[in-house]
Amino acid sequence: MNRILAIALLSLRSAVRSRMVAVLMCLLVGIMALLPWVIKGDGTISGTIHLLLSYSLGLATTVIAMALLWAGSFAVSAEIQDKTIQTLATKPVSRFHLWAGKWLGLNLLGFLLLAFCGIVTYALLQAQLRSDRWTPDDLATVQRQLTAHAEFRPDQPDFEAQARHELVATPDRTRPDDRSPAERLQQRRQTLIAEFYSVRPLNRNQWTFSPLRGQTEDRPLILRYRFTSSVIGQDAVSGRWLIGTAEKPDQFTHTITHTPRVWNEITVPRHPDWSAKPIVVTYLNEDPGGATLLLDMDQGLTLLAPADPFAVNYLRVLLVKFAQLSFLTALGITAGCLFSLPVAALVSMYILLLVQLGSYIQGMATNEFSLTSAAGIERTTIDLALIAIYKGLAFLLSPLVPGDELTRLANGLLVTWWSALRHLTLQGLLMALLLGAFASYALNRRELALPQS
């Protein structure tokens, strides 16, 4: 362990003495201090918080990730090329000790840089909250937004089983159907999901939430939803929300004229029954324009319960970001162990490109698509092969793609300790050590102390 620490301190000292750290610090300060002035938000305090947490801190962590990935790729490959590693290779130091020392040293650098960005962002946020331009209503909004809320979503039926049952019980024989059974099942399943999240004119729909056990009963809930209107160009839809239990569905009633395509929030006083009984949320579509309300199928309807203060949630998000930085550092050092200096640099550039395209690739893997066949016709072999490739790439890239923790933080959503510990254990430690074992095996195959190395 002493050997690893010695190599780590040498790596950290070398990085601090280089110009990279000074340039990186100036760049990070410029991003966090100047970006809110360059990008104009919507003028609200909520938009300012999003700008600081999602954009400034998000861009700063991306810059740190790029720097650590590049530094990792150069950490070993440059020493091999310059033959300075021969001095270390002749000493009683294993190849894994060499890798682990480099990784630990760059991890310490990443931790210090991330802590610096976190402290500066937190200070800027507190300075914004003390500004005189915000009204008491704005500060009340911020208090809600910065409090970490646990999310509760409605219980969903088994759409797959329901679609299968309906297709078997009532087959459609009125017209020829060229679709395959799988496509008919998929279409019926999508129809059932759409019906579950829509409310027709002058009708109602109900959603059931599990009891809010373990939640503080003296703090109000928030009903959060986003929807679109079936009437194109409609700016407001009228309706009424009822929240209660199956026996008393109207323990809370709220008539509202709300706006499509944006997040709408309603503060709901907590009722003691909701900790022991399922919560029934009902929407009555009373819009005079005859619009159908179409809720977002992914996150269009949630109940939010206050869980933790902002500082605790903020710490957990920074831990998740540190785990991602640790994995990228390990990936860069491993590339430097496997390839020469120019190739390691190209591999690092390719990894950065994959990180940027990761969300797109995952979207292609999860969404159904067809490139060579028309709609309503069974996919060809080429389509199936492309879908398999996208799913394989999505699986391989899942550790690289940044999560939405910063967005959740800015929206007042809880990032749990379990999520932070899972990222630290799996991504920041176990997967990084697996890369280290592979890199040390590759280094053992190279005679580093010979002149031709």
Along the 453 residues of the chain, how does pLDDT read in single tens digits? 777 888 888 777 877 777 777 778 888 888 877 776 666 656 677 778 888 888 888 888 988 988 888 888 888 877 777 777 666 656 667 788 888 888 999 999 999 999 999 999 999 888 888 877 777 777 777 888 888 999 999 998 888 888 888 877 766 555 555 667 777 888 888 889 989 999 999 999 999 999 887 665 678 899 999 999 988 888 889 999 999 999 999 999 999 999 898 889 899 998 888 888 999 999 999 988 889 999 988 777 999 999 899 999 999 999 999 999 999 899 889 988 888 878 887 887 777 777 766 666 666 666 655 454 444 445 567 767 777 777 777 776 666 666 688 889 988 899 999 999 999 998 889 989 999 999 888 877 765 554 444
Tokens at residue 415, please?
Answer: 């990032």
Residue 303: the pLDDT is 93
Which 8-state DSSP code applies to residue 106? H
Provide the β-strand partners of residue 256: 239
Tokens at residue 215, please?
Answer: 């939640």
Residue 186: the pLDDT is 82
Q: Return the CATH fold of 152-308.
A: Jelly Rolls (2.60.120)
Which 8-state DSSP code applies to residue 55? I
Of how many residues is the chain composed? 453
Task: Tell me which amino acid residue 87 is.
Answer: T
Tokens at residue 231, please?
Answer: 């009437």
CATH 2.60.120 placement within the chain: 152-308
- Digit-coded pLDDT (tens) for 167-182: 777 665 555 556 677 7
Residue 185: the pLDDT is 83
CA distance 158 to 192: 10
Residue 178: the pLDDT is 63
Residue 453: the pLDDT is 42
CA distance 400 to 293: 37
Q: Give DSSP secondary structure letters for 210-247.
A: ---TTS-TTS-EEEEE-EEESSTT---EEEEEEEE-SS
- Digit-coded pLDDT (tens) for 246-303: 999 999 999 999 989 888 989 999 888 888 899 999 999 998 888 999 998 877 799 9
Residue 365: the pLDDT is 63
- Collapsed DSSP state (helix, strand, coil) of residue 3: helix
- Token pair 């088994």: residue: 158
Q: Which long-range contacts (CB under 8 A, 24 or more apart) does 139-142 make?
A: 139/45, 141/45, 141/46, 142/45, 142/46, 142/49
Q: Roughly how many angstroms between the first and final C-alpha of the chain, as a whole number? A: 27
CA distance 306 to 224: 13
Residue 175: the pLDDT is 52
- Collapsed DSSP state (helix, strand, coil) of residue 192: helix
Residue 77: the pLDDT is 79
pTM, two decimal places: 0.82
